[in-house]
Amino acid sequence: MRTLILTAVAIVLSTPVVAGPMSMTCENPRRAYFVTFDGKDLILDPDTDQTKYLVLAAHDGTVAGMVGQGSGLGFAAYFTGDSRIDLYSDDKVIQTDRCKPS
């Protein structure tokens, strides 16, 4: 987790935030869901429950941050290339959800 946070801080300090909306459809073992990054927030299923993840950094189609307050989980969302969302705990990937750009 510390590595993810340090990486996110380094990105923030060295580059501007990604401008403009990006979206993709992802799938985990339970269901498919829609993800949007609006330049500020990463929002899951924006038309339904609007779960927001705290964004710490965004650069070149990659968005990184924390899953909720105090959860101990981090995420990295890749909107370009190998589109996916990786969830982290203790600096290890614990889940990868494959995605398709929308």
Distances (CA, A) of 12 to 6, 7, 8, 47, 58: 10, 9, 6, 29, 7
Q: pLDDT-derived band of residue 2, with 50, 70 and 90 as boundaries? A: low
Mean pLDDT of 12-41: 79
pTM of this prediction exceeds 0.85:
no
pLDDT in tens, 63-100: 999 987 778 899 999 999 999 999 999 889 999 999 99
Domain regions of the chain by residue span: 2-101
Using DSSP bridges, classify how beta strands 51-59 and 22-27 pair: parallel, antiparallel or unpaired: unpaired
Question: Residue 20: what pLDDT?
Answer: 66
Question: Residue 51: what pLDDT?
Answer: 84
